[in-house]
Amino acid sequence: MKKVGFVSLGCPKNLVDSEVMMGQLKDAGYEITNSADDADTVVVNTCGFIESAKEESIEAILEATNLKEQGKAKKVVVAGCLVERYRDELVDELPEVDAFIGTNQLDKIVDATEKDKQDFNEIQLTPIGNKTATYLYDEYTPRLRATDSHTAFIKIAEGCDRPCAFCSIPSMRGSFRSRRFGSIMKEAQHLADQGVKELVLIAQDSSRYGEDLGDIDGLAILINELCKIEKIEWVRVMYTYPTHISDGFLKAIAENEKAVKYLDMPLQHASRNMLKAMKRGGTRESLQRLIKRVRDAVPEIAIRTTFIVGYPGETEEDFQELIKFIQNCKFDNVGVFTYSDEEGTPAFELGDKVPAEVAEERRKRLMEIQAEISRENNEEKVGKTYKVMFEGVSEESELLWQGRLEGQSQEIDGKVLINDAPEDFLPIHGKLVHVKITEAHNYDLVGEIV
């Protein structure tokens, strides 16, 4: 049986694309291996978002073509966002690569693997760049999941129509398009039957789910219905947009026990000047009102957000405004990125670029301030007991188990390290347990199962 090795880079949306490609190849009789070394074909699913991600993708492609030169792999297929952004350059500069498929061509992965270069290139379709991108996987698409058995991503929509000036995603993923409601519900039931306990809903712009299908508050309706699936314990939503946080959505989070009390909402900045230059709108005051509205609607909610520092034109004053904002809002989880100057985005044309070392120094300062805030938030949990999704032996130490609070998303937020449990405790992944918190760190917590 021919073996295909997969290298999946970038965000969870790209991971779902890899899972869909692996599912189709498995259905076509291929064996999927995560060791590229002993694969006949190596597929590199790339990320093309920012400089560091692009470099990582190119490195992975060169490692794969090296395996081919060594006579190990016979074929290299390159997929994903980098292909959408630089297809022509990649075709010219990487003749060793046998096939390139974009984010709108996931259903061509078997052809790309089976057909020889000449034949496959003949069936190459138009690049995604334009507004015609339509591809959406559905409940019948074979999918080989790469996440832990008890948690699964569901991509509820693809593409984005927002004008954020620093972002190249719309040019790589096409226009916003929602999956059909029924398709998501069937996939969710299917995942629940496979033993999945946590559904993580993802898209570039989850808040707009259903809008293009004529559904007002489609995301709220979806959450209400997904929470009715018996075997599911948690429903989590990632990547919401600040101007689209509806009362219906907050009500769905507040009123459904299975809807985790968690909001992932990238804000990118808080100074009026920067938000305007980023074409995101709003002010520190309007964002603080939004955070208050969210917390009034769902008092125990944990909020995750991300910021960009070093954006063209950012002054120390703008940065101070951002510091004041996070000190006021005391977010639970924060990611901070330095601006990446991406050609083809409106921001690339802006003057007044901030030196990289200044941007990096601002990123460090903001993370130091947030580490203290995160620790204070965690210290308030000591002595209290919380529902935790049990996830088995800890990555930190074999002597510890680990799990997550509702307010902790896998991989990107802190976790709960578990150092004690009743004698008769059965360590089942995905099981909800009660943990009494005994210790707080900057991001992680320590506790015992009671």
Q: Note the residues at the interface with ligand SF4 (CB under 6 A).
A: 160, 162, 164, 167, 169-170, 204-205, 241
Count of C-beta atoms within a 10 Å radius of residue 249: 26
Nearer to ligand SF4 (CB atom), residue 120 or residue 241: 241
Kindly tell me which of 187 and 264 has the beta carbon lying closer to ligand SF4.
264
Closest contact distance (angstroms) between CB of 410 and ligand SF4 is 20
| Residue number with CB closer to ligand SF4 (304 or 381) | 304
Type of residue at 426: L
> How far apart are CB 429 and ligand SF4 at their closest, in Å?
32
Are 246 and 265 spatial neighbours (Cβ–Cβ below 8 Å)? no
Sign of CA dihedral 302, 179, 252, 432: negative
Residue 93 DSSP code: H
How far apart, in whole angstroms, are the C-alpha atoms of residue 65 and residue 35?
15
- Cβ proximity to ligand SF4: between 174 and 447 the closer is 174
Minimum CB distance to ligand SF4, residue 279 (Å): 9
- The alpha carbon dihedral of 364, 365, 368, 369 has a sign of negative
Q: CA-to-CA distance for 241 and 261, rounded, in angstroms?
A: 17
Closest among 148, 34, 109 to 410, alpha carbons compared: 148
Taking the complex as a whole, the smallest distance from the CB of residue 168 to ligand SF4 amounts, in Å, to: 8
Integer-rounded Cα Rg, in Å, for the chain is 22
Q: Six-digit token pair at 35?
A: 């060791």
Rounded to a whole number of angstroms, the minimum distance from the CB of residue 13 to ligand SF4 is: 10
Nearer to ligand SF4, 169 or 389 (CB): 169
Q: Which is nearer to ligand SF4, 21 or 164 (CB)?
A: 164
One-letter amino acid for residue 360 of the chain: E
Q: Which is nearer to ligand SF4, 164 or 229 (CB)?
A: 164
For the bound state, the minimum distance from the C-beta of residue 53 to ligand SF4, rounded and expressed in Å, comes to 14
**CB 161 to ligand SF4: min, Å:** 8
Distance CA 1, CA 410 (A): 34
Q: 385-393 and 401-404 as β-strands: parallel, antiparallel, unpaired?
A: antiparallel
Helix, strand, coil percent values for the chain (each to nearest 5)? 40, 20, 40
Q: Rounded CA gap, 201 and 396, in Å?
A: 27
Cross-strand pairs, 78 = 44, 100
CB of 169 to ligand SF4, least distance (A): 4
Smaller CB separation from ligand SF4, 203 or 417: 203
